[in-house]
Amino acid sequence: MDNNSSLLIIDDENIVRDSLSRWFREDGFTIGTAENAAAALRKLQDQRWDVILLDIKMPGMDGMELQQRIMEIDPTATIIFITAHASVDTAVQALKHGAFDYVTKPIDPDYLSHLVQNALKQRHLATENIKLKESITEFFKADDIIGDSPQMQNVYELIQTVAPTDTTVMIRGESGTGKELIARAIHSNSQRRYFPIVTVNCGALPEGILESELFGHERGAFTGAQYRRKGKLELADGGTLFLDEVGNISMKTQMDLLRVLETKQFTRVGGNEIIKVDFRVICATNKDLERAIADGTFREDLYYRLNVFTIVVPPLRERKSDIPLMANYFVKKYAQIMGKPITTIASGAMDVLVRYDWPGNVRELENAIERAMVVGTPPCISPQNLPFQLMDKKKKHSGGSLAAMEKEHIEGTLVGNNWNISRSADILGIDRVTLYNKIAKYGLQKPA
C-alpha cells in the first residue's frame, strides 16, 4: 500500500511522534513531524500536507492557536486533534474552526485508521471539487460571443459590469443577434454559475402551458397531469431564470410572474404548498415594450421590474467589421463538425458577406456559412457557394457606373478589414497611397 499521501504529526512528546510515525509509515504515508508550533509552521511553508495530526497542549503556542495559523496558510487543511486532555470547550472550538475531528488518547487503532482514511477521502474530494470548478470556469470563458467592434466591446463591458451583481437584466436586440448567448455569458460570470440557467421560451408556448411550465403542477391539477412536476422557476433555484421573448407573455401570466419576482415564492398549478425560490432574472425581447405598454399589452409594473439594467445587442448591419471575424469562426466550427478541409473564405465571397445587410443577423450569417460549407469545395468558400439572396443583394447594390462600383467595392473591403489600410490595399491589389487617394476621391469615412 505505497500511497502518495502525506501526514504531519505535531506533538511535543517525542514518544508520541515516534509511535505515530511508525504506525502510519507501515501504511506508506510520507511522514513529517514537528515538536512545536514554530517547527510545524516551517514544515507547512515547505509543502502541503494531506492530513495533520495536532496535539492541543504544547509549550508556547498551543494547538488551538496553531490551528488558526495553519488555516491562514492552507484554508483546506485537514486537521485531526489528538489530545489527552479533552474538554467540551476545546472540542467545540476546534470543530468550529474547521477541524476534521477531535479524538482523545489513547485511540482504538481501528478507529484511527478509519478516521485518517476518511479525512483523506474528504481531502481528495475537496481537491477534485476545486479542480472541477476551475475547469468549469475555463470552459465558460470560451463562450461563443464573437466580435471586436466598438459596439461589441461596449456589450462586453456591460456584461462584465452586471454579471457579478444580482441585478435583473433586460437584453434587447433584433432576432438572431445572440441574446441568449449574452444571457449565458452573464450567468457564467456570476456567483450563480455553479447552479443552472433555466431558459423559458415565453413566445413558444400557449398561455395555459406556459403557466404550468413556469410554476409546475400538482398531480391531477388538470386532465393529463398524472404526476407532480416541478416548474422552471423551481428548477432555476439558486441559478438564473432566462425569460426569452418576454414581450410575448399574456396579461394573466404577466401578473403571476410579477408576483413571483416580487415575493420569490409561488404555488404549483393545482397546489397549495408555498414554494420559496432564489434565482436571478435575465430576460430578452425583440419587441418594443414601451409601445406595448402604450397599447396596453404589457404591464408597466412588470416592465419596471424587469428593465433594471439594459443591454442592447446591436444588429449585424451596424457592426459590419465583425462579419469577417464571425464568418471565419463559423467556417472553423463547421469544418470541424463536417470534417471538411475548408479553411478560408475567398475575398470575393467575403465581400458579398460584408455588403449584405443580414436582417436575420448572426443566425442568418451562421446558416449562410453552414450552407456554403455543404456545397463548397475545399480549400475555400467562393461567392458561388453563398445563398442566392446574398448574391442578388450584391447585384442590386452593384448596379450603376464603374466609379460607383469601385466606390462600393473599396468601401466594402475597408469595412471588412476594420479600416485597416495596409490589409485593404493588399486585398485590392493597389498600394496604400492609391487607396488613400481613392478614399479622398469618393469621400469615404471611417465610422465613429
Q: Which spans of this chain sit near other proteins (rule: CB under 8 A)?
A: 1-2, 13, 15-16, 18-20, 22-23, 25-28, 82, 105-110, 112-113
Given the complex with other proteins, which of 21 and 297 has the nearer CB atom?
A: 21
Given the complex with other proteins, which of 109 and 341 has the nearer CB atom?
A: 109
Q: List phi, psi (to 5°) of 142.
A: -85, 60
Single-letter code of the amino acid located at 412: G
Using alpha carbons, select from 176, 174, 175, 189 the residue that is nearest to residue 143. Answer: 189
CB of 111 to other proteins, least distance (A): 8
* Separation between Cα atoms, residue 368 and residue 179, nearest integer Å: 19
Given the complex with other proteins, which of 89 and 110 has the nearer CB atom?
A: 110
Given the complex with other proteins, which of 105 and 276 has the nearer CB atom?
A: 105
In a 13 Å sphere around the CA of 262, the CA atoms on its Cβ side amount to 11
- Rounded to the nearest 10 degrees, the angle between the axes of helix 109-141 and helix 14-25 is 70
389: Cβ contacts below 8 Å, ≥ 6 apart: none
Q: List phi, psi (to 5°) of 280.
A: -100, 145
* Separation between Cα atoms, residue 145 and residue 143, nearest integer Å: 6
What is the edge-to-edge ordering of all strands in the sheet holding 169-172?
197-201, 240-244, 280-285, 169-172, 309-312
Given the complex with other proteins, which of 116 and 169 has the nearer CB atom?
A: 116
Given the complex with other proteins, which of 82 and 197 has the nearer CB atom?
A: 82
In terms of C-beta density within 10 A (0-12 exposed, 13-18 middle, 19 or more buried), how is residue 262 classed?
A: exposed
CB count in 10 Å sphere of residue 186 = 28
188 three-state secondary structure: helix
- Which residue's C-alpha cell is 424587469? 306
CA 117 to chain centre: 35
CB of 334 to other proteins, least distance (A): 50
Given the complex with other proteins, which of 90 and 240 has the nearer CB atom?
A: 90
Given the complex with other proteins, which of 91 and 282 has the nearer CB atom?
A: 91
* Separation between Cα atoms, residue 30 and residue 9, nearest integer Å: 11
First to last CA, the chain: 69
- Rounded to the nearest 10 degrees, the angle between the axes of helix 432-442 and helix 402-416 is 120
Enclosing H/E stretch for 83: strand 79-83
CB of 77 to other proteins, least distance (A): 20
Looking at residue 346, what DSSP letter applies? -
Single-letter code of the amino acid located at 410: I
CB of 124 to other proteins, least distance (A): 16
The C-alpha angle with vertex 247 and arms to 246 and 252, in degrees rounded to 5, equals: 85
CB of 114 to other proteins, least distance (A): 9
Given the complex with other proteins, which of 23 and 419 has the nearer CB atom?
A: 23
* Separation between Cα atoms, residue 339 and residue 327, nearest integer Å: 17
